Each structure stands twice: as structure tokens, then as C-alpha cells.
Amino acid sequence: MRYTALLLLTIICINQVASVSLRKNINNQAIDNLHQSKKKKKKPKKQQQKKLGKKNAFASRIAAAVELHLTSGGAVDQAVDLVQQALNDVQSKRKDLQTEFDNFVSQTKEKIGQDLLQLNELDAQLSVVKGEIQQLESEIKSLESQIERLTKEINELNEREKLIEQARANDINTWNKRNVRDQNALEALGLIIDDLNRLLERGNVFLQQNSDQVNRAMKRIPLNNPIKALVTLSTKFDEAKLRVVIDKLTQIQDAVRNGNNEDSLREKQSKEHYELLIQELISVRNAKLEEKAVAQSSLKDKQSRLGLKQTEAENLTNLIKQVQAHKQGLEDALARETPIYQMRLDEADQAIQGIREALRILEDHRASLHRAESISDDLKNGSWAV
């Protein structure tokens, strides 16, 4: 409908130039003679209009205006110029509209292409970030397992250290008891042997007179010690037998002393062994504690990086959604505006076709007028006959 006003303006211009002129009678007479002479050769104008109206609504309406103009004897040349000007104007506007439409489509598709390119870049970035997130999550899981394992191993080492310390304490307690027992035995044997040696020096074979000393010495010997029996029996033995008893007691004393020395040596070796075990345990534990500290620091760093990467992925996802929405808006605008532009172009094409039909009719009418003028001149000169 945007070209209806232009069409009406064309019709008004035709009607304005259709004012009565000096050629009215000549044209009417020439047209009547022309109709009578060529009645069988031409179809009525109404049939032409009817046929034309079927082709184009604009052409039908302009044809009606032209028919009115034909009967009014207007200035056809002016009408042709005006209609030609209208045709040129519509064609120019149609060209501008086509250019506008082409630019709109081109620019919109270019923007859509830019959005697609940006989406591809964002998708690639998001893919990389997601890969980094997966890698960090895997590393974090591995570090957590490592820390859990190290914690368990450190606890086991602590328990082992406690067991070693307890075993060492038990060994020390046993050694102390045996050492006290051996020292007491050695002291008692030494007193007995000294007393017996003094008796031998005095030559007294009867020991009853020194029984108090013997009893005091025997009290210092454990009840289950066989030395007590030997001492008791020695009071009834003679000097030779007493020497044998002293010799036996000396052998026992040496055996106890040697056993104590061996125990002392074993205690020293045991102490060194325990100290070595403890040092090795402490060294292993310190290494695991250091490894655990490094793992915990790395875990903290990776958890921080994971948070940043997750935020980056979220931002990229939101940006992708925004670009997708912008791209969808462009596609919707293209789908929405294309039919509108096409409709406007179709209207322009219809207007151009209608104006061209009107221009053709005017051109035909102008040619008819020229022929009518020629016939009129011939009639006046008497040189034309039906």
C-alpha cells in the first residue's frame, strides 16, 4: 500500500493534464472516424481494460484513468512525462530498498559469522579450561590419596616407635634386675670366700665359732641359692674339703662375673641396636612428614587454581550463552525482516509493473492522437478517404 499514494498522484496528474484544449473537436471527430473505419480490426477499450486488469491491479486503475484522459482530450505528452517520472522514482526507490535489504542481509550474516567465530573460540577456550579442571581434579584426588597414605604410614611409625621404646624399657628393666642379682651374688660370694680364706689362714677346721659371721653372710644369699648348702656343709668338712668348697665358690663367682660381663656387653649392643632403630625410624618419619607437607602445600595450591579455573569456566559459559543469544537475535531479525523486505520489494515490483502498463497505454494513446491529428489534417485537406 506504500505505493498507492504514488499511484493516486499519477492519476491526479493525468486528470490535471486532461483539461479541454483546442484539439478536442478534432480528436473526437478523428477518433469517431477511426472507430468506424477500423471497427472490425480493434477491440473495444473496455475489453482491453478488462484484460489488463486481470494482469495487474495498478495497471487496471491507471488504465481507467487513461481511458478518462482519452475521452477528455488531455495533454498526453505531459501525462507521459509525469508517469515516466513516477516510474523512475519508484524504480530508484526500489533499487535503494534492494540495496538496503542486501546491506541488511550482508551485515547481519557478517555479524552472525562473527558470533560463530567467537563461539568457536570460546568453545575452544572452554574445552581447554575443562581439560585443565579435569587434570587438576585428578591431581587433587591423587594428592589427597597420597596425604591419606602418608598420614597412615606416619601413624604406623609412631606406633612402632612406641613399641620399640616399650621393648627397650623392658630390656633395661630386665638388665637392671639381672645386674642387681649378679652384683649381689658376687658380693655375697666375695664375702664368703674371704671369710673361708681367713679361716684357712687361722688353720681352724671347726667353723662353729664363726657361725654368726657365716650366718650373716648366708642371709645375703637368695634362699634358692645352692651356695647356702655348701657353706652349711663346709662347717663339717676338713681343711682339704674346705679348699675344694672355696675353689668351687670361686668358680661360681667367676661364672657369675663372666655372665654379668656378657650381659653388660649384650645390653650395650642392644642399646646401640635400639638407638639405630629409633634413628632410622625418625629419619623415615621425618622424610614422610616432609613429603606430606609438600603434598599438603601442593594440594592447597591446586585447590586454589581449581577454584580460579572453575570461575573462568563459569564466565566462559555465561559469555557463550550471551553470544548465542545475540546470534539467535540476529537470526530471528533476519528471519523476521526478510519477508517484510520481500513484501516491500514485491509491492515496488507491482507498482513498477502497473506504472509501466499505464505508460504503455499512454504511449499507445499518444500514438493514436498523432494518427488522429494526421487524419484530421488529411480530412481538412480533403486528401483522406474512408
- Residue 65 above 60 pLDDT? no
Residues 43-52: tens digit of each pLDDT: 444 444 343 3
- Residue 56 above 90 pLDDT? no
Output the pLDDT for position 46.
Answer: 41
- Between 18-27, 177-186, 258-267, 354-363, the lowest mean confidence (pLDDT) is in 18-27
**Confidence class of residue 26 from pLDDT cuts 50, 70 and 90?**
very low
How many Å apart are CA 159 and CA 141, to the nearest integer? 27
**Confidence class of residue 219 from pLDDT cuts 50, 70 and 90?**
low
Output the pLDDT for position 10.
Answer: 52
> Which range among 38-47, 247-256, 363-372 has the greatest average pLDDT?
247-256
3-state secondary structure the chain: CCCHHHHHHHHHHHHHCCCCCCCHHHHHHHHHHHHHHCCCCCCCHHHHHHHHHHHCHHHHHHHHHHHHHHHHCCCHHHHHHHHHHHHHHHHHHHHHHHHHHHHHHHHHHHHHHHHHHHHHHHHHHHHHHHHHHHHHHHHHHHHHHHHHHHHHHHHHHHHHHHHHHHHHHHHHHHHHHHHHHHHHHHHHHHHHHHHHHHHHHHCCCCCHHHHHHHHHHHHCCCCCCCHHHHHHHHCCCCHHHHHHHHHHHHHHHHHHHHHHHHHHHHHHHHHHHHHHHHHHHHHHHHHHHHHHHHHHHHHHHHHHHHHHHHHHHHHHHHHHHHHHHHHHHHHHHHHHHHHHHHHHHHHHHHHHHHHHHHHHHHHHHHHHHHHHHHHHHHHHHCCCCC
Residues 123-168: tens digit of each pLDDT: 999 999 999 999 999 999 999 999 999 999 999 999 999 999 999 9
Output the pLDDT for position 370.
Answer: 73
pTM value > 0.85: no
Output the pLDDT for position 81.
Answer: 87
Specify the amino acid at residue 320.
I
Q: Which residue has the cell 538496503?
A: 100
Of the two residues 66 and 363, the one the predictor is more confident about is 363
Average pLDDT, integer, range 303-331: 97
Mean pLDDT taken over the chain? 79
Of the two residues 117 and 204, the one the predictor is more confident about is 117
Angle between helices 76-202 and 4-16 (to 10 degrees): 170
Of the two residues 139 and 224, the one the predictor is more confident about is 139
Output the pLDDT for position 30.
Answer: 40
**Confidence class of residue 18 from pLDDT cuts 50, 70 and 90?**
very low
Average pLDDT, integer, range 289-301: 97
Buried b (16+ CB within 10 A) or exposed e, 308-335: ebeebbeebeeebeebeebbeebeeeee
How many Å apart are CA 17 and CA 65, to the nearest integer? 11
Output the pLDDT for position 39.
Answer: 44
User: Are 147 and 295 spatial neighbours (Cβ–Cβ below 8 Å)?
Assistant: yes
Specify the amino acid at residue 283.
S
Query: For the chain, what percent of residues have pLDDT higher than 90?
Result: 54
